Amino acid sequence: MTQYFIRRLLLIVPTFIGITILVFVITRFVPGGPIERMIAEAQQASMQTGGMSQSVGSSIGAATLDEDQIRQLEEYYGFDKPVLVSYWDWLVKVVHLDLGESTRYSDPVWDTIKDRLPVSAFYGIMTMFITYFISIPLGYMKAVRHNSHFDHASSIVVFVGYAIPSYVVGIILLVVFASNLEWFPMGGFYGDEFEDMDSKLEQVADIFYHAALPLLAYVAGSFAVMTFMMKNSLMDNLAADYVRTAIAKGMPFKQAITRHAMRNSLIPIATHFGNNISVIIGGSFLIEKIFNINGLGLLGYESIVERDYPIVLGVLVISAILQLFGNILSDICVAAVDPRVQFR
């Protein structure tokens, strides 16, 4: 078992290189890189200052940034070298825990990510807790009372939540509860007075006050799958022979469910768990955008739009590592709940 996990850990290295090299190469070939942006900005600047008087049709691009400047910029961003060479340079820096500097803010990438990560992680972990907290008991009740009114009514709610994309749920919540009813704030991670609050308790309350709607949007999207997974797997297990054995032993039905069927039903849930990690911590950029939350998802999205490649790659590094470790964590969880699973 230990050997297996050591092997899995070692496999992270080539997988990680594969993922990053792919994205790195793509950044090279997608139009609109940082240099082109600068050229465009310089153009706009020159248009605004001297554009009026200048004659139309002159070669504008060349006039704003000359060859030398462009070469300097290329050298600065590492575009002067072949792709693989600059990828290697980047990788060496990453190994030394240096993700480079943002081309937009000139801040170190790691600092930018470090600021955003806790925000997304807070939402992710809260979502996970709430999802499991709702899904497992709800799935349990639906399985035990299969085909009852309760089962049908809750199915409607679950399917509606599943059918509407989470960003639409987010927008509806925002319009109804923040804009019309004004029960909740319009967005942000915390309010303007956050720094001035006296007690930690007040600050925590403020965070949750701001988090209520986004969390609902997050949860609405994710609990349907989990609930049905729980229900179906529990129903399968309720019909299993070993549950009948347990009852034949003299165990009351309820106890047979909680002691025997439940444990087996959690196996597929455990398989799911690790895969969720990266999504959870990475956050959803759509929900973060709607609720104006400065999380990792939004950061990744903005940096792609702005062609801020060091940040794009930085976010990728973090989420790739989370995903890869998440997969291994999944395996560990499965091995923990199912003794039949043996890794070699």
Partner 1 sequence: MSEVILEVKDLATEFDTEQGVARALDDISFEVKAGETLGIVGESGCGKSVTALSILRLLPKPAGNIVSGEVIFKGQDLIRLPADDMHNIRGNRIAMIFQEPMTALNPVYRISRQLNETLALHNPEMNKAEINEASINMLKRVGIPAPERRMKEYPHQLSGGMRQRVMIAIALLCKPEILIADEPTTALDVTIQAQILQLLKDLQKETGMAIIFITHDLGVIAELCDRVVVMYGGRIIEQADILTLFDKPRHPYTRGLLNAIPRLDKSSKEVLSTIPGMVPSLFDFLPGCRFQNRCDYVQEQCTQDIPVLESDSDGHQVRCFRFRELLS
Using the rule CB under 8 A, give the single segment among 119-127, 240-248, 305-313, 322-330 that binds partner 1. 240-248
Q: Does 263 bind partner 1 (CB under 8 A)?
A: yes
Task: Tell me how many residues contact partner 1 (CB under 8 A).
Answer: 22
Among 62, 244, 258, 305, binds partner 1 (CB under 8 A): 244
CB of 328 to partner 1, least distance (A): 21
Binding mask 305-344 for partner 1 (x = CB under 8 A): --------------------------------xxxx----
Among 251, 321, 328, 329, binds partner 1 (CB under 8 A): 251
Q: Is 110 helix (H, G, I), strand (E, B) or coil?
A: helix
Give 30 or 248: the residue with its C-beta nearer to partner 1.
248
Give 35 or 246: the residue with its C-beta nearer to partner 1.
246
How many C-beta atoms surround the C-beta of residue 149 within 10 A? 8
> HSE (CB half, 13 Å, CA atoms) of 180?
7
Closest alpha carbon to 340 in 275, 264, 276, 272 = 264
The length of the chain is 344
Pair of tokens at residue 169: 């749920």
Q: Is 30 helix (H, G, I), strand (E, B) or coil?
A: coil
CB of 273 to partner 1, least distance (A): 17
Q: Does 242 bind partner 1 (CB under 8 A)?
A: yes
**Cα end-to-end distance, the chain, whole Å:** 6
Q: SS3 helix, strand, coil % of the chain, rounded to 5?
A: 75, 0, 20
Give the residues lining the site for partner 1 (CB under 8 A).
Answer: 239-242, 244-252, 259-260, 263-264, 267, 337-340
